Amino acid sequence: MDLTFKVVDTDKRRHYPGQRRNRKVSNLPAHRVDPAKKAATVTELPTTRRSLLIRVRDPRDHGAWAEFESIYRPAVYRFARRRGLQPADAEDLSQRVFQKTAHKVREWDEVGKQGSFRAWILLVTRNEVINALSRQRPDAATGGTSSSQARVNHIPDSHSLDELLEKEYRRATFRHAASIVQNEFTETSWRAFWLTTVENQQSQTVSESLGISIGALYAARSRIMSRLREVVTQLTKEDE
């Protein structure tokens, strides 16, 4: 997976995830994680999608289900909204999809069916969208012809939803990688990276606001981007 910062959803009300406002800002970026700690961090990374599908079968593993839902539910919701559902209806649809998923995943045999479970989610979502639109009241202004029926007729195949799910997976992967890597660097280093790379602020402006040289900013950003790529690769690597 390419580490593309441009596609990351950024809440502009905060500077970076997990902002530590009370921490004293040091003057400069040093990578302060020792090799042993770094090795431990990598080996303890969350499992990949294939293993996650196995973990979510365990009703006691609440963390696995939360991770699974955080990846896929936003994409289901956005797909429903793009097909014309109101926010409350899209939320209800997302809930129904994941209620069905919760039952199905416990009996799913993933061996030899790579990608099949996601294809099933695509099918369930598309069917639920069609059902939801079909239940909407006809538009009287069109002489009894439901405007929602027109939207039903123009719902694309699962390809567009598949793209949404993949994009949401990339976002979730970046967010998780960022939460890991942030703890390995000083706050000043992280802000230098986040403000210039994710929020696209001018490097000169950021360096002045942080009280560091432009060279120090570039060095910090380079180290963090390199480490993020490492972690993203680890997160997305298929199980051996």
Give yes or no: residues 37 and 92 share one domain: no
Q: Report pLDDT for 223.
A: 97
Q: Is residue 17 part of a domain?
A: no
* Whether residues 141 and 40 fall in one domain: no
Ranges 1-5, 73-77, 191-195: which has the least confidence? 1-5
For residues 88 and 193, membership in a common domain is answered with: no
- Does residue 1 lie in a domain region? no
State the pLDDT at residue 28: 42
Residues 61, 160, single domain; the answer is: yes
Tell me, yes or no, whether 179 lies in a domain: no
Looking at per-residue pLDDT, the higher value among 151 and 25 belongs to: 151
Q: Indicate whether 9 belongs to any domain.
A: no
Is the pLDDT confidence value at 55 over 70?
A: yes
Which residue range is the domain that position 210 belongs to?
Answer: 24-47+185-240
CA–CA separation, 72 vs 125, rounded Å? 11
**162 in a structural domain:** yes
pLDDT more than 70, % of the chain = 59
Question: 49 or 119: whose pLDDT is higher?
Answer: 119
C-alpha distances out from residue 81 to 138, 149, 150, Å: 19, 15, 15
Domain limit, last residue, from 169, 195, 222: 169
Measured between alpha carbons, how far is 32 from 38 in angstroms, rounded to an integer? 10
Count of Cβ atoms closer than 10 Å to residue 139 Cβ: 14
Residue 153, in any domain of the structure: yes
Whether the pLDDT of residue 38 is over 60: the answer is: no
Mark out the alpha helices in 183-213 (DSSP H runs): 187-193, 203-210
Per-residue pLDDT band at 74 (split at 50, 70, 90): confident
Eight-class DSSP state of 198:
I
89 and 149 in a single domain? The answer is yes
Instruction: Using pLDDT thresholds of 50, 70 and 90, give the confidence band for residue 53.
Output: confident
Domain for residue 176, yes or no?
A: no
Interior angle at CA 110, CA 104 and CA 113, nearest 5: 110
The more confidently predicted of residues 223 and 79 is: 223
Q: Are residues 74 and 131 in the same domain?
A: yes
Number of domains in the chain: 2
What is the dihedral angle through the alpha carbons of 97, 166, 38, 238, rounded to the nearest 10 degrees?
90
160 shares a domain with 191: no
Q: Which of 24-28, 92-96, 147-151 has the highest mean pLDDT?
A: 92-96
The answer to whether 69 and 57 are in contact (CB under 8 A) is no
pLDDT at 76 over 70: yes
pLDDT in tens, 106-143: 766 655 555 566 677 777 777 887 787 777 655 444 44
Clarify whether residues 122 and 98 are in a common domain.
yes
Is the same domain home to 43 and 132? Answer: no
The CA distance from 51 to 64, in Å, is 10
CATH number for the domain spanning 231: value is 1.10.10.10
* pLDDT band, very low/low/confident/very high, at 35 (cuts 50, 70, 90): very low
Tens of pLDDT, residue by residue over 168-217, are 778 877 888 898 999 999 999 999 999 999 999 999 999 999 999 999 99
Q: Report which residue type is found at 26.
A: S
- Boundary-marking domain end, from 169, 195, 213: 169
